[in-house]
Structure 1
Amino acid sequence: MIASFSEERFPLRVAFGTAGGPERRTDIVRLSNGYENRNQRTRHSWRRYDAGSGVRSVEDLVAVLHFFEARRGRLTGFRFRDPFDFSSAPGGGAATVFDQRIGTGDGEARVFQLVKRYGVDDDAYVRPIGKPVPGSVRVGVDGAELGQGFSVDPSAGTVGFAVAPMPGAVVTAGFEFDVPVRFDMDHLSINIAAFEAGDIPSIPLVEVRP
């Protein structure tokens, strides 16, 4: 049976040249007095990409073709590295253990979800991170980095402690992460002659909730 999601990552050399980013869906109604009533349909943004802009060679095309077939087109989701946003560091630099506050201890909770904040204070958007890069997650409690006593589930983006953090303890984390996506097409059209003439194929990807 084919899994609905594969932990395999889209070819990195193609991902680095990809165009795309977050999408919001907002309903806007203009009222008779000139004001607008605005509401968002969903709590979280969704990301869309076109990986075609990252294809620079015939070898890249072949790599995408093989990956597309292995994922059965739109059937199976997979990991994708967003070239613009893949680190917990606010400025997109190297991750540190103090980058993101992921929770506060209460003496009972032992599992915490990785998140990334965009903005500050009450206006910040808190994005759940479900696909951290294995081996990249660093965890701290009250300003001290931990070397043991915790585990990370890279398929769900959770941190589990052997012993629950004490009440009031601030839990932080730093990490790199991928975006769970799928192909947004079931037909991959490739024309070598057109590609060599500068015609870049469209390879749409859309974020999913695995």
Structure 2
Amino acid sequence: MSLDIFPTLPGLKWGSTRVPMHRTSVRETPSGREFRTRYFSFPRWRYKLAYEVLRETDGLAELKTLVGFFNARGGAAQRFLYLDPDDCSVVDQRLGTGDGAIRKFQLVRTWGGVVEPVYAAADDAQVLLGGALADPSTYDIGPSGVLSFGVPVAMGLPVTWTGHFYWRVRFKQDETEVSQFLQQLWEARSVELITVKP
């Protein structure tokens, strides 16, 4: 299933917010001892975007583009792809090492020492085997970011990738607010997105 890409609009305000989220259950005994259970193996991310100018004039339909995209997704009902301008690429990211049997590798990216799966690679993704560019006809990158080779990767051969990627997200809420501050000029102070698993 191909997902639509969130539109890139020029009025995005500097200083958008990005929040890593975890889910942990903490049970405390009467003596004060704690037992903790971690439910996420990697964080979900919440984005808060603010658009200080959305124009709605002849030839410019930024307001309609944003609100139309929101309405077409039914608010929080459908997933889509988001290109985070500050976290959207990897260079020579290690995926694993061939063992003569394995043919599939999940795309990942490492940030702050934490490895997280990448579920949507952009069209410029390149795969390298032992540092050499692999022939694109020998592999396929699926819609959930799974790299599949036609034949097993040779024993000891490192598999890496380079390229851009998208975050799989949905709108956090079923409503979004836009405000008009001048004729044909609008703003959206809070457009919230949250990452989802495939």
- The TM-score bracket by the shorter chain reads 0.7 to 0.9
Distance 1:203 1:175 in 2: 27
1:202 to 185, 190, 194: 190
1:39 offset after TM fit, Å?
Answer: 6.7
Structure 1 residues 73 and 198: alpha-carbon distance in aligned structure 2, compared to 1, 3 A threshold: closer
Distance 2:133 2:171 in 1: 38
Alignment of 1:2-81 (within 5 A): 7-13=3-9, 17=13, 19-25=16-22, 40-51=38-49, 53-58=50-55, 59-81=61-83
1:156 offset after TM fit, Å?
Answer: 1.1
One-letter amino acid of the structure 2 residue matched with residue 57 of structure 1: L
One-letter amino acid of the structure 1 residue matched with residue 111 of structure 2: Y
1:190 offset after TM fit, Å?
Answer: 2.6
Q: Report SS of the residue matched to 1:65.
A: helix
1:141 equivalent in structure 2:
129
2:168 to 177, 180, 185: 180
Which is richer in helix? 1
Structure 1 residues 199 and 69: alpha-carbon distance in aligned structure 2, compared to 1, 3 A threshold: closer
1:33 equivalent in structure 2:
none
- Over the matched positions of the two proteins, sequence identity in percent amounts to 28
1:191 offset after TM fit, Å?
Answer: 2.9
Structure 1 residues 160 and 55: alpha-carbon distance in aligned structure 2, compared to 1, 3 A threshold: farther
Distance 2:130 2:164 in 1: 21
1:130 offset after TM fit, Å?
Answer: 0.5
Unmatched segments (≥5 aa) in structure 1: 31-35, 90-98
How many residues are matched? 191
Q: Report SS of the residue matched to 1:176.
A: strand
Structure 1 residues 203 and 6: alpha-carbon distance in aligned structure 2, compared to 1, 3 A threshold: farther
Deviations 1:153-205 (A, max 9, x none): 35211211122111111111112001111111212333324798886432111
1:132 equivalent in structure 2:
121
Deviations 1:97-137 (A, max 9, x none): xx111111111111111111124xxxx3111001111x211
Q: Report SS of the residue matched to 2:165.
A: coil
Distance 1:208 1:113 in 2: 16
Q: Is the 8 A contact 1:16 1:54 kept in 2?
A: yes
Q: Is the 8 A contact 2:180 2:186 kept in 1?
A: no
Q: Report SS of the residue matched to 1:9.
A: coil
Alignment of 1:81-160 (within 5 A): 81-89=83-91, 99-119=92-112, 124-133=113-122, 135-160=123-148
Deviations 1:72-119 (A, max 9, x none): 111101000112100113xxxxxxxxx111111111111111111124
Distance 1:152 1:195 in 2: 49
1:67 offset after TM fit, Å?
Answer: 0.3
Unmatched segments (≥5 aa) in structure 2: 29-33, 56-60
Distance 2:2 2:129 in 1: 32
Distance 1:165 1:56 in 2: 50
Q: Is the 8 A contact 1:6 1:79 kept in 2?
A: no
1:28 offset after TM fit, Å?
Answer: 7.8
